Chains A and B, each alone.
Chain A
Amino acid sequence: MPSDAREALLSVDHLSVSYGHVNAVKDVSLEVFPGEIVVLIGANGAGKTTLLESVLGINAPRSGSIVFAGRQIGGVAADHNVRAGLCLVPEGRGVFASMNVLDNLLLGAHNNMRNVQSSLRRVFEWFPILQKRRKQIARTLSGGERQMLAIGRALMSAPRLIMVDEPSLGLAPIVVNDILAILKKLNSEGYTILLSEQNANKALKCAHRGYVLETGSVALSGSAERLLTDPGVREAYLGA
């Protein structure tokens, strides 16, 4: 259990975000402490993507606050937050299909060009396949390789918190295991990870804590083991 003395890396407090008249996120509060893997579980349309994108700085919140590394970032533009150490591996969208692997990675370092060579070396260490395919157009990569590219691209910005939106979407189960293993390994090297997942079983098994989102609000939260054994969660989200 995290002690109260530890300060949260990300602290979302009573956050509400709406698109026009649709309240996508309603009064959500959550915390992510350094070194954790935290999972957001919820069905399609539960507000997971909106929440992550609001933290990143794509949508301005209607009310509530977002504090990252001690600073208020509610309403701050995304590129500022990326420079401050926040990043998002978007759902299905982290990769520019018409550009090659190397260019995609270099885009990740857009706000961090000073260390680009060392970042690149590290990403290639993590993902040797990306080095092998660095001149290939991203469109020709397999689903798993694209996900690796998206994560590698996020790593290029030297992030303190990596947010991953539905990493398993569209991937074969074996590949999903690989990706989650990579995330676990990154976490063991010190990266803090906040990820959202529809299919909660595998995600909860890698995580420390989790939050359950239903129609924009937090329905349940707790340690990963507790959520794994909770009967309501089992029924709704831990299918096969």
Chain B
Amino acid sequence: MQVFVAQLINGLSLGSIYVLLVTGFNLLLLVAMIIHFSYPQVVVFSMYIIWVVLQLTGNNLFLGIAAGVVSSICLNLLSAPLFQKVMRKRGEVDINSTMVLSLGIGMIITDVLSHTFNKGLPVAFPDQLASVTPLLRVGLISVQVGQVWSLGVGFVAVSAIFLILYRTRPGRAFRAIAEDPNGARLVGIPILRTGLASYALSGVLGGVTAVLLAMVLGSASPGLGEQVAHKVLAVSIIAGLGNLAGGLVVGLALGVLEAIVQGYISGTWSNAIAFVILLIVILARPRGLFGSKL
């Protein structure tokens, strides 16, 4: 029972991170109209930037976190013109090209990480950020600072996103474009500017996620991006591409599923089992459990 609760907490905190990633991905899909497969790789790159800044400033947490968020926003905004150029197809949106472009960007990021920072070796985050000493301990159940943060920040961030979407001017524009991009243009919504805003917002989410990942995992490696990316993409497909609420449910569910499997079955097979379950769901419902936008 204790193992179960411990793994539930693990799972929820990991799941919160998946939810943040899926939300960032969905924002780009709905408003910028791109499939950014390598969005998690951008996040991992930001983790490395955090590590570098922490090293350079003697573990100044504020600067490190700021650097992570800024780098995520910058990477997104820099890739925006590439995506825009590649998207055009006789008046319609060629979304498959954005996928291929994103895969190319991901390849570059992963390889750069394997070559440069720390000579490609995994990087570890200092205790100030990723402390492993538990906040609370009840028997086998220990709650770490990172987990509390990721649950808390995850909750706040997702709530903030929903607030933005439903109570602010840019959020209304996002929803309009998500429902009907052509109709939004006819109403006078600046598509380009609003799309760029979604790149930026997605970047903010990405930066926050990078910080949380650093706290929860304590380390980063070049291959982390790919691993996380495939899980996040699987989550978004199962939930239905573009389905924000579905992403919330499935993201948390995957986190919990992974943690439970890890708790009861040996680590090396747990990844495979999670993926097999994902595969079965995707094959059974290629368009998502809750209906997709595409």
Contact = CB atoms under 8 A, between A and B. Distances in A.
Interface of A: 19-20, 53, 56, 58, 77-79, 81-83, 87-88, 90, 93-94, 96-99, 103, 106-108, 110-111, 113, 153, 157
A153 B187 contact: yes
A47 B270 CA distance: 61
Contacts of A19: 91
Interface pairs A-B: 5 shortest CB-CB: A82-B188, A79-B190, A90-B186, A93-B183, A79-B188
Given A20-B90, A96-B175, A99-B176, A110 B188 contact: yes
B188 A83 contact: yes
A93 B180 contact: yes
B273 interface: no
Interface in B248-272: none
Given A99-B175, A107-B176, A113-B169, A58 B187 contact: no
B172 A111 contact: no
B175 A94 contact: no
Secondary structure class of chain B's binding surface, majority of residues: helix
A149 to B, nearest CB: 12
Nearest to A91: B186
Interface size class of B (residues with CB under 8 A): 10 to 19
B230 interface: no
Contacts of A108: 187-188
22 contacts: A19-B91, A53-B186, A56-B186, A87-B188, A90-B183, A93-B182, A93-B183, A94-B186, A94-B187, A96-B175, A96-B179, A96-B180, A99-B176, A103-B175, A107-B172, A107-B189, A108-B187, A108-B188, A110-B172, A110-B173, A113-B169, A157-B188
Contacts of A97: 179
Nearest to B185: A78
Contacts of B173: 107, 110
A61 to B, nearest CB: 15
Nearest to B170: A110
B19 to A, nearest CB: 22
B186 A79 contact: no
